[in-house]
Amino acid sequence: MAVPWMLLLVSLSTFHLGIFIWAVIRHFLTVKMPSGLQHPIKLRFLHCMALYMFALGNILEKLRICSTFRFIQFMHDVMAIKKNHNLVVTNMKFGTIPVRLFQPKAVSSKLRRGIIFYHGGGTICGSLDLYHNLCSFLAQHTDSVVLSVGYRKLPDHHHPCLTKDCLNASIHFMKGLTTYGVDPSRVVVCGESVGGGAVAIVTQALLSFPNLPKICAQVLITPALQVIHFRLPSHQQYQNVPFLTKDILMMGVCKYMDIDSSWEDALMNGTCMPPDIWKKYRKWLSSDNIPRRFKSKGLLPEFPEPFNEAAYLETKSIFDPEISPLLVDDKIIAQLPKAFLVSCEYDPLRDHALLYKKRLEDQGVPVTWYHVEDGFHGCIVLFDKHPFSFPCSIKLVNAIVSYINDI
């Protein structure tokens, strides 16, 4: 009886080892590690693990056991949640939207600051659990009430589910701020990656609700702010840097926008961009707006390819300001609250923050910008994942806490 079990164990071990070896080979064939990244071996290992999980998820999907995205989400959610005895944590639902409320236990003589947080993950992964420790840290170290929003994700939900859920949850929360012990004049909207893009979209949308309290500040951490221009300097320079490689970025964009993956090259090369639309948005999206120190030599031209009308018709939803908030009119930008923008050097989305910074400043909106020279996309979620945290992760979190404490 022991022999069949032994054979099964050996077979499973060989199977998983083979997948991991494939992930390691793919990593070294496709990934480029900039010399300025600290602890590159640690990052290489984590990226190999990410590729391993994607490969295993793909196999499970082909076997019709579960989808790749659900497997990735499940694996992320098994990460340990740290209990913070200084906070009361409450799971709730605003309608059908799951949210998690973090409230300091200590008695306060006055209403506290409120932080509405939208997590990252590109709608592929990310969850209330994965970002639990970060929200707990923010609540304790800024003495704030934090609401974390669990919006709908892939594979079942596409655009505009993310922004609708974030907006609706935020409106619900802001209608009853004092119930949660929050000062209506001190509400901050904060988000990371695709959640940072949601911050921009929601903050812009809330201008249409004059009866609600005004947002006092917006915090955008390595935000995704447009899905139109993929030839910005940062997209070209860091397209093969973990964790947001070109393949993962384009997969997330196409899946969330429900665009067939056959149009990925058209999106990357800009052939889906009509000349008249580029003429209209060039003033906001052009790499001419990126400071020279962020540009390396040998960059490809922005839109050299001939226009493909078929590609445009299949992908035209990308020009909606509710997916690319960099495209809203100046009159809307001018009404926005002060902003804290975080960018990481080794991040393909770095230039999104730089473009938005210029847009805000051009319209007189106060901007505080924090640039992490040794940072990479997604590093913030590792800030407490010892031994896999990075110096850039801790610097980034501390900078956010410092800014919020000054509000």
Q: In what order do the strands lie in the sheet with 338-346?
A: 87-94, 97-104, 144-149, 112-118, 182-192, 217-221, 338-346, 367-376
- Percentage of the chain surpassing pLDDT 90? 89
**Buried b or exposed e, range 83-97, using 16+ CB within 10 angstroms:** ebeebebeeeebeeb
Q: Please give the backbone phi and psi of residue 349, each rounded to the nearest 5 degrees, phi first.
A: -90, 5
| For residue 5, pLDDT beyond 80 | no
Q: Active site includes 141?
A: no
- CA neighbor of 195 nearest in space, from 212, 228, 172, 218: 218
The pLDDT score that the predictor gives to residue 303 is 73
| For residue 205, pLDDT beyond 70 | yes
Residue labelled with tokens 């420790």: 133
Q: How far apart are CA 347 and CA 225, in angstroms?
A: 13
The pLDDT score that the predictor gives to residue 47 is 96
| Residue of 127, 347, 351, 352 with catalytic role | 347
Q: How confident is the model at residue 19 (pLDDT cuts 50, 70, 90)?
A: very high
Task: Convert 326-374 into a string of H (helix), E (strand) and C (coil).
Answer: HHCCHHHHCCCCEEEEEEEEECCCHHHHHHHHHHHHHCCCCEEEEEEEE
| For residue 242, pLDDT beyond 70 | yes
**Chain mean position to CA 266:** 23
Contact predicate 174/203, CB 8 Å: no
Contact predicate 193/223, CB 8 Å: yes
Cβ atoms < 10 Å from Cβ of 300:
12
Q: Active site includes 351?
A: no
Cβ atoms < 10 Å from Cβ of 21:
12
Residue 72 in tokens: 């990735």
- CA neighbor of 69 nearest in space, from 191, 152, 132: 152
| Residue of 193, 287, 324, 393 with catalytic role | 193
Summarize pLDDT for 80-120 with one digit per residue, the tens. 688 899 999 999 999 999 999 999 999 999 999 999 999 99
Q: Active site includes 193?
A: yes
Long-range contact pairs involving 354-358 (C-beta distance under 8 Å, separation at least 24):
354/289, 354/290, 354/291, 354/294, 355/225, 355/226, 355/232, 355/284, 355/285, 355/289, 355/290, 355/326, 356/200, 356/220, 356/223, 356/225, 356/325, 356/326, 358/289
| Residue of 47, 159, 352, 377 with catalytic role | 377
DSSP-derived secondary structure letter, 299: P
DSSP-derived secondary structure letter, 380: G
Report domain 84-407's class. Answer: alpha beta
